[in-house]
């Protein structure tokens, strides 16, 4: 590819003046274990970064396809038509997260992994909400660690996309049904904001959760307007769980 540069030393592939479309990259194992692939989309509207985690053996190869569109960058551009790859990545990241948590939280993460092993939509839906509720339990057990919350959101995004992909391949959701769910998420946010407005002083943790809630609710509304009901369903679920975390932070 003429418009690309690869550094063997830094393991960096850079494609400049990239056109919209799908690009494939191959990862070759130099040993046995896990690896993390960072993907950056540098556009006029901003820079968008995401990462994936997987396992590989010596001399084995993994091929990843990335969907790039500078006018509409995806939060996770890695193509996964079945949702299985997203679930596998989420399980690996959950296993890694277990090494950084207290025993009681490790038990909770094991429960999420078992839900993912069932490979059914209800179990995946519960795994998604449980992953975001993990943020609440981090505060509950006084393990104040920004990394744990950030990583749970990254894992949650993987499960969000897996639920949408698998759901779209399995069944159709109705506009009326999803309108109810979107209204419930909006109501949860409004009640939270009313409660938060009565509290004086700065609350950085609460502000971070509110920012996350606004992001997911905005995405849910946009996708509802475009009749992407499974995406609205997933994002509305996340909003309602994050509202539980936020309410617990209001003293």
Place 87 in a pLDDT band, splitting at 50, 70 and 90.
very high
Q: Helix, strand, or coil here: 61?
A: strand
Say if CB 117 and CB 95 are below 8 A apart. no
* pLDDT at residue 234, as a whole number: 98
229-249 vs 204-225: helix crossing angle, rounded to 10: 160
Residue among 68, 71, 65 nearest 52 (CA): 65
Most confident of 55-64, 79-88, 178-187, 200-209: 178-187
pLDDT digits (tens, 9 = 90+) for 17-61: 888 999 998 999 999 998 889 899 988 888 888 888 888 999 999
Q: Tokens standing for 67?
A: 């969907």
Q: Tokens standing for 95?
A: 């296993």
* pLDDT at residue 239, as a whole number: 98
Residue listed under structure tokens 């551009």: 77
Pick the CATH number of 80-171 from 1.20.120, 1.20.1440, 1.10.1040, 1.20.1250: 1.20.1440
Measured CA to CA in angstroms, residue 145 lies from 77, 118, 179, 185 at distances of: 28, 30, 35, 27
Sketch the domain layout of the chain as residue ranges: 4-68, 80-171, 174-251
What are the DSSP calls for 21-58, one per residue? Answer: EEEEEEEE-SSSEEEEEEEEEEETTEEEEEEEEEEE-T
Q: What one-character DSSP code corresponds to residue 83?
A: S
The alpha helices in 141-200, defined as continuous H runs, are 146-170, 175-197
Residue 144 has pLDDT above 70, yes or no: no
Residue among 220, 187, 136, 137 nearest 195 (CA): 187
Q: What one-character DSSP code corresponds to residue 14?
A: E
pTM summary value = 0.86
**CA-angle at 145, arms to 127 and 188, nearest 5°:** 50
């Amino acid at each position: 590819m003429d418009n690309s540069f690869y550094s063997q030393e830094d393991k960096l592939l850079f494609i400049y003046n990239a056109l919209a479309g799908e690009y494939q990259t191959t990862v070759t194992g130099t040993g046995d274990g896990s690896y993390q692939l960072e993907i950056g989309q540098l556009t006029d509207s901003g820079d968008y970064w995401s990462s994936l985690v997987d396992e590989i053996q010596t001399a084995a190869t993994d091929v990843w396809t990335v969907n790039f569109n500078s006018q509409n960058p995806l939060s996770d551009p890695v193509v996964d038509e079945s949702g299985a790859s997203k679930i596998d990545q989420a399980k690996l990241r959950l296993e890694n997260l277990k090494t950084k948590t207290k025993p009681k939280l490790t038990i909770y993460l094991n429960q999420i992994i078992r839900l993912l092993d069932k490979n059914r939509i209800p179990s995946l839906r519960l795994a998604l909400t449980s992953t975001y509720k993990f943020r609440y339990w981090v505060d509950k057990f006084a393990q104040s660690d920004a990394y744990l919350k950030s990583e749970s959101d990254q894992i949650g995004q993987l499960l969000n996309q897996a639920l949408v992909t698998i759901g779209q391949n399995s069944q159709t959701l109705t506009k009326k049904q999803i309108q109810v769910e979107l209204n419930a998420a909006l109501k949860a946010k409004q009640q939270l904001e009313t409660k938060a407005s009565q509290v004086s002083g700065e609350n950085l943790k609460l502000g971070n959760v509110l920012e996350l809630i606004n992001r997911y609710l905005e995405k849910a509304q946009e996708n509802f307007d475009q009749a992407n009901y499974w995406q609205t369903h997933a994002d509305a679920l996340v909003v309602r769980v994050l509202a539980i975390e936020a309410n617990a932070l209001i003293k």
